[in-house]
Amino acid sequence: MAKMMQPRFKQARRLGLNVSGHPKAEKRMGKGLGREDKKLTEYGRQLLEKQRLRAYYGVMEKQFFNYFKKAYKSQESTGDALVKMLETRLDNLTYRAGFASSIRQARQMVVHGHILVNGKKANIPSYQVQPGDELELREKSRKNEMFKENFETNFSYSLPYISKAEGFKIKLDRMPEREEVPIEITDSLIVEFYSRLV
């Protein structure tokens, strides 16, 4: 399985944005080091936004382009549809639920079978979670202190489309609205970047 493996802090510095969610990444970014601090052409700005969104969700280029093509064919705005698809990936919701402290850790948990969807094991990070689906930490994995501590301290109550169920469970109540998704991205630049390729 292909995955993004470059150093997280270096990536955050280059993109000028804390895409890993790690608290130390902010301190290490520094002024004038990111691409955004340099003079960019219109194409450069579009490319930077695309790389940022890819980095937020840890998705490889080919898979990201496939998401874009699906979003492009959907009935709603392409940018909104793209973000919604990425936001409802199983690995991302595992991270949003607080089971993991980073998207990379969430992906590893999914691949190793620690997460159940509606009571069944799901080990594909790109699995699309549907509204009404419940995610839970497998019974055996609840003994792991790190997972327990993550869930108890990291669950974000600020996301209105996710609710906490009893035990080690969360539920996707509905599809998120674009403005509810906590990422700093200008979707229109990504749409402009890929429009010439579709």
Q: Give me the pLDDT at residue 82, please.
A: 96
- Per residue in 116-163, pLDDT (tens digit) is 999 999 999 999 999 999 999 898 888 888 887 777 777 655 789 999
| Residue predicted with more confidence, 115 or 101 | 115
What's the pTM value of the predicted model, to 2 decimals?
0.84
Residue with tokens 């080919």: 62
Query: Which residues contact residue 179 at a Cβ distance below 8 angstroms, ignoring those fewer than 6 apart?
Result: none
Q: Give me the pLDDT at residue 64, please.
A: 96
Let me know: does 12 contact 56? Beta carbons within 8 Å.
no
Q: Give me the pLDDT at residue 93, please.
A: 94
Lowest-confidence pick of 71-75, 104-108, 189-193 = 104-108
Let me know: does 134 contact 125? Beta carbons within 8 Å.
no
- Per residue in 27-72, pLDDT (tens digit) is 555 554 455 556 889 999 999 999 999 988 989 999 999 999 999 9
Q: Give me the pLDDT at residue 110, please.
A: 95
Q: Give me the pLDDT at residue 144, please.
A: 83
Report d(CA 103, CA 126) in Å as an integer. 12
Phi-psi region of 186 (alpha: psi -120 to 50; beta: other; left: phi over 0): beta
Query: Which residues contact residue 26 at a Cβ distance below 8 angstroms, ignoring those fewer than 6 apart?
Result: 12, 18
Mean pLDDT over each residue of the chain, to the nearest integer: 84
Q: Give me the pLDDT at residue 150, please.
A: 78
Mean pLDDT, range 7-25, rounded to an integer: 62
Angle between helices 61-73 and 187-195 (to 10 degrees): 90
CA-wise closest residue to 176 among 191, 158, 192, 151: 158
Q: Give me the pLDDT at residue 127, please.
A: 96
Q: Give me the pLDDT at residue 179, please.
A: 93
120 forms bridges with which residues in the sheet?
Answer: 117
When pLDDT is cut at 50, 70 and 90, the band that residue 99 belongs to is confident
Is the pLDDT at 18 greater than 70? The verdict is no
